[in-house]
Amino acid sequence: MYNGIGLQTARGSGTNGHVQRNVAFVRPGKKDSVNYRTEDDLAKLDAQANRQPNQGILDHERKRKVEVKCAELEEVLESQGARDRPSEIVDPMG
């Protein structure tokens, strides 16, 4: 017997008396309670929630869109067969 759990003795039970933990049991967690103490705490949380986007990420996204447009234009040009002949290129964007 371990910690009050299991058999007093394994004799006559048809088992070896080994006690296993139930790993499928999900323990109930603590409720997420929010305790705001002052208006300053609320202001700090609002500032964190409404922060400005990272300029580096915005620049990367803009450059990525340009790369995608270039790749699409390249596919159109390859489908027209004008890969090596710049005089035959038709502007698909306008």
For 10-63, the pLDDT digits (tens) are 777 778 878 888 889 888 877 766 666 788 888 888 887 777 888 999 999 999
- CA–CA separation, 80 vs 29, rounded Å? 62
69, part of any domain:
yes
Q: Structurally, how many domains does the chain consist of? A: 1
Cβ-proximal residues to 82 (8 Å cutoff; 6+ apart), any chain: 88, 89, 90
Written as one letter, the residue type at 20 is Q
Other CB atoms closer than 10 Å to residue 73's CB: what's the count? 14
C-alpha dihedral (10, 15, 18, 21), degrees to nearest 10 = -120
Residue bearing the bigger pLDDT, 73 or 38: 73
Domain that holds residue 79: 54-83
What pLDDT, on the 0 to 100 scale, is given for residue 61? 96
Q: Is residue 62 part of a domain?
A: yes
Identify the DSSP state of 84: S
Token digits for 25?
Answer: 């049991």
Q: Is the entire prediction scored with pTM above 0.85?
A: no
